[in-house]
Amino acid sequence: MDWSRTKTIFIIVFSILNIFLYTLYVDRYTEAENFSDLAEPQVDERLDGDNITYPEDLQSDPEEEPYISGTRQAFTNEQVLVEDAKATIVEDYLLDVSFDEPINLGEDPDTESLEDFLAANVYEGGKYTLWDVVEEENKAIFFQVINEKTLYHSDSGSVTLYWNEEGQAVRYEQTLFTNLVENEQAKDLISPKRAIETLYQNGMLQQNSAITSANLGYSVYVAVSDDTRMFLPTWRFIVELEDGSTADYYVNAIKDGVIEFKQAEEEGSE
């Protein structure tokens, strides 16, 4: 037997086989790419069919953001900035302060004046942004800002300010994250458009609704320890419903998937 010739034949056969397998791989990959390209207009068509709109200028290129960890602030009386006030510290991490004399908030306080009040009268008050004003309960809710982005719905990173019928501040409750540390490696984010598709495919978006804004913030992802939490980049969408009311929806900006916030301190369960 001519082993040299046999060896050459084997080499040729395996080369042809490798070329065939590589061609098959390229074909399958191209089919997957084409399917991906086709999937987006199909979703767009379904959104159009349900009369669901979204801003045309949504960012399409994925950003990068890190996970961030933070430690819950253990409060002492030293964190009370107003001298004439009574402070109660609940389980180390909740500071409840009542003013001996109500403090004027001014006529028709707006976002800027309320945030200015917090910055002047509350420990690290400049690290919060106004989230909601509940007129019937005479209170305003502020969320902590982390890495220049809002930390959504965390019981451990918020301030609730209360006032009397005369529009004077009488009390506040505060929690705070401190010792914020960014993960060394930033993560690629899904695009807002992809997040909208996730909401739609999960039946979260109603017919005849309009997505009015998409904002990137953070939410508590997991409890690292009793005191430390890890925060996850999170897309927030404000949706105007057919009846004129609005609803908020949240999507995990790294791993995809809808985030539904639970009551009380169930952080780390998402």
pLDDT on residue 1: 52
Distance CA 201, CA 250 (A): 14
Helix axes 3-49, 192-201, angle to 10 degrees: 70
Distance CA 95, CA 76 (A): 8
Residue with tokens 């908020």: 248
Distance CA 76, CA 62 (A): 42
Contact 251, 199 (CB under 8 A): yes
What are φ and ψ of residue 211, in 5° steps? -80, 115
pLDDT on residue 56: 86
Handedness of CA 20, 22, 27, 31 (dihedral sign): positive
- The domain 72-179: what is its CATH number? 3.30.310.160
**Partner residues linked to 216 by β-bridges:** 235
Here the tokens at position 66 are 């890190």
Give the fold, CATH level 3, of 51-67+183-264+266-270: Lipocalin (2.40.128)
Q: Count CB-CB contacts under 10 A for residue 95.
A: 24
Does residue 270 register a pLDDT over 50? no
72-125 residue pLDDT tens: 999 999 999 999 999 999 999 999 999 999 999 977 788 999 999 999 999 999
Distance CA 99, CA 169 (A): 8
Closest CA to 177 of 121, 221, 214, 237: 221
pLDDT on residue 7: 52
**Partner residues linked to 171 by β-bridges:** 98, 162
pLDDT band per the 50, 70, 90 thresholds, residue 266: very low
Structural domain boundaries of the chain? 1-49, 51-67+183-264+266-270, 72-179
